[in-house]
A and B are shown apart, each in its own frame.
Chain A
Amino acid sequence: SAVISQKPSRDICQRGTSLTIQCQVDSQVTMMFWYRQQPGQSLTLIATANQGSEATYESGFVIDKFPISRPNLTFSTLTVSNMSPEDSSIYLCSVGDRDTGELFFGEGSRLTVL
């Protein structure tokens, strides 16, 4: 299993600003993912955070808007840039265990953009 800590747990931000969300895992993991969950909706995969290389983004998500860092096997950050009210969501970090097939999630970062 993996324990994932996300910071901040919630924040209220002004339109046009940027916020960086941190994800810390208690063990080294190969696969790390960032998801977004808008109110009342399912989870949407934003990108795969690759250690030592650029993140792999899903359709509809771009690096300029959601820059991701993955400096080592236990840590990643997601930045939501130039925020608008449409970016109000819960952002979740997750890591995968290829041996068991499980995906572990953090508690999420609830972002409200005014």
Chain B
Amino acid sequence: LAKTTQPISMDSYEGQEVNITCSHNNIATNDYITWYQQFPSQGPRFIIQGYKTKVTNEVASLFIPADRKSSTLSLPRVSLSDTAVYYCLVPSWGNTGKLIFGQGTTLQVKP
């Protein structure tokens, strides 16, 4: 399972774009990159997944460079409700399917 490293915390203000970068140097050829969001007192929620280049959905964008050793989750125009912990994961579904969570990034959005 690829180990991930991401900042422990980030602060932002409402209306700003937030970029959270995750490094996964030993990502395998078949691995996807997945991001989850967790609000207090809730289980994590899937946000976005990608393999290479760029993926965009209604919540976020995910940028993955050609070497795939890192990825950046981009949240456009954050609001107070985006305050949460964001986890970057690289699941190896070919083996057991289990996900190992790192520390995550605690994003605090201020008014």
Using a CB–CB distance below 8 Å, which chain A residues touch chain B?
4, 30-31, 33, 35, 42-45, 48, 56, 92, 94, 96, 98, 100-108, 110
Chain B 78-111 per-residue mask, 1 if CB under 8 angstroms from chain A, else 0:
0000000101000101001111111110000000
How far, in whole Å, are A101 and B55 apart by their CA atoms in the complex? Answer: 15
Q: How far is the CB of B93 from chain A (nearest CB, A)?
A: 5
Max chain B Cβ within 10 angstroms of own Cβ: one of A56, A103, A104, A107: A103
**What are 25 A-B pairs at a CB distance below 8 A?**
A4-B43, A33-B98, A33-B99, A42-B85, A42-B101, A42-B102, A43-B44, A43-B101, A45-B98, A45-B99, A48-B96, A92-B43, A94-B43, A96-B97, A98-B93, A102-B34, A102-B49, A103-B36, A103-B46, A104-B46, A105-B43, A106-B43, A107-B43, A108-B41, A108-B43
Q: SS class of chain B's interface: helix, strand, loop or mixed?
A: loop
CB neighbours (8 Å) of A102 from chain B are 34, 46, 49
Q: Which residues of B contact A96 (CB under 8 A)?
A: 93, 97-99
Pair B43/A101 contact, Cβ less than 8 Å: no
Docked pose: A37 CA to B23 CA in angstroms:
23
CA distance A26 to B60 in the complex (A): 28
Interfacial chain B residues near A35, Cβ < 8 Å: 101
- Is chain A's binding surface mostly helix, strand, loop or mixed? strand
Contact A103 B99 (CB under 8 A): yes
User: Does B45 reach chain A (CB closer than 8 Å)?
Assistant: yes
How distant is the Cα of A108 from the Cα of B87 in the complex, in angstroms? 17
Smallest beta-carbon distance A57→chain B, Å: 11
A33→B43 CA distance, assembly (Å): 13
Return chain A residues, CB-CB under 8 Å to B42.
107-108
User: Taking each of B32, B44, B96, B103, which has the highest tally of chain A beta carbons within 10 Å of its own beta carbon?
Assistant: B44
Contact B102 A101 (CB under 8 A): no
A residues in contact with B49, CB < 8 Å: 100-102
Within residues 36 to 79 of chain B, which ones have a CB less than 8 A from any CB in chain A?
36, 41-46, 49
In residues 6-25 of chain B, which contact A (Cβ within 8 Å)? Answer: none
Establish whether residues A101 and B104, one from each chain, have CB atoms under 8 Å apart when the complex forms. Answer: no
Could you tell me the distance in whole angstroms from the C-beta of A21 to the nearest C-beta in chain B? 13
